[in-house]
Amino acid sequence: MAPGSAVWLALGLAVAAWTVIEIVRRRSAAIPGRLVGWLVGSWLGRIVMLGVWAEVGWHLFTQRP
Protein backbone atom coordinates (compact mmCIF):
# COMPACT_ATOMS: atom_id res chain seq x y z
CA MET A 1 0.00 0.00 0.00
CA ALA A 2 1.28 3.44 -0.92
CA PRO A 3 2.12 5.67 2.06
CA GLY A 4 -0.50 8.21 1.03
CA SER A 5 -3.16 5.50 0.85
CA ALA A 6 -2.26 4.37 4.37
CA VAL A 7 -2.81 7.90 5.65
CA TRP A 8 -6.19 8.05 3.88
CA LEU A 9 -7.13 4.72 5.43
CA ALA A 10 -6.23 6.02 8.89
CA LEU A 11 -8.22 9.22 8.31
CA GLY A 12 -11.22 7.27 7.04
CA LEU A 13 -11.13 4.97 10.07
CA ALA A 14 -10.85 7.96 12.40
CA VAL A 15 -13.88 9.69 10.82
CA ALA A 16 -15.87 6.43 10.86
CA ALA A 17 -14.93 5.68 14.47
CA TRP A 18 -15.84 9.18 15.65
CA THR A 19 -19.17 9.04 13.75
CA VAL A 20 -19.99 5.70 15.41
CA ILE A 21 -19.04 7.08 18.83
CA GLU A 22 -21.32 10.10 18.26
CA ILE A 23 -24.22 7.90 17.13
CA VAL A 24 -23.79 5.52 20.07
CA ARG A 25 -23.97 8.50 22.40
CA ARG A 26 -27.39 9.23 20.76
CA ARG A 27 -26.35 12.49 19.26
CA SER A 28 -26.53 10.92 15.77
CA ALA A 29 -23.70 13.04 14.36
CA ALA A 30 -25.84 16.07 15.18
CA ILE A 31 -23.02 18.61 14.97
CA PRO A 32 -22.30 18.26 11.20
CA GLY A 33 -26.06 18.16 10.57
CA ARG A 34 -26.63 21.37 12.50
CA LEU A 35 -23.75 23.03 10.70
CA VAL A 36 -25.23 22.19 7.29
CA GLY A 37 -28.68 23.25 8.52
CA TRP A 38 -27.23 26.60 9.56
CA LEU A 39 -25.43 27.02 6.20
CA VAL A 40 -28.66 26.55 4.23
CA GLY A 41 -30.48 29.00 6.51
CA SER A 42 -29.94 31.92 4.12
CA TRP A 43 -29.69 32.42 0.38
CA LEU A 44 -25.99 33.25 0.60
CA GLY A 45 -25.05 30.11 2.51
CA ARG A 46 -27.32 27.95 0.37
CA ILE A 47 -25.93 29.26 -2.94
CA VAL A 48 -22.33 28.81 -1.71
CA MET A 49 -23.09 25.23 -0.65
CA LEU A 50 -24.83 24.52 -3.97
CA GLY A 51 -21.79 25.90 -5.80
CA VAL A 52 -19.45 23.59 -3.89
CA TRP A 53 -21.82 20.67 -4.51
CA ALA A 54 -21.99 21.44 -8.24
CA GLU A 55 -18.20 21.69 -8.56
CA VAL A 56 -17.69 18.40 -6.70
CA GLY A 57 -20.22 16.64 -8.93
CA TRP A 58 -18.81 18.06 -12.13
CA HIS A 59 -15.29 17.01 -11.13
CA LEU A 60 -16.22 13.50 -9.97
CA PHE A 61 -18.62 12.55 -12.73
CA THR A 62 -17.44 14.34 -15.87
CA GLN A 63 -13.67 14.74 -15.40
CA ARG A 64 -11.25 11.92 -14.74
CA PRO A 65 -10.26 12.37 -11.06
Partner 1 sequence: LSWRIFVTDIAMIPDGAPRARTARLMCAAAVAGAAVLVWWEGRQHFGTGASQASVGAVIGAALGSAVLLGRGRQQHRSGAWLIEARPFDRGDRLRCPAQAGEVAVWIILLFAVIGWDLFSFVRQSHDWPTLSYLVGRVTRFDWGRAAFFAAWLGCGAYLAVGGRRSEPS
Binding-site ranges for partner 1 (CB under 8 A) = 2-5, 7-8, 11, 14-15, 18, 22, 27, 31-32, 34-47, 49-50, 53-54, 56-65
CB atoms under 10 Å from CB of 65, counted, come to 5
Contact by Cβ (8 Å): 45, 38: yes
Q: How many other CB atoms are found less than 10 A from the CB of residue 40?
A: 13
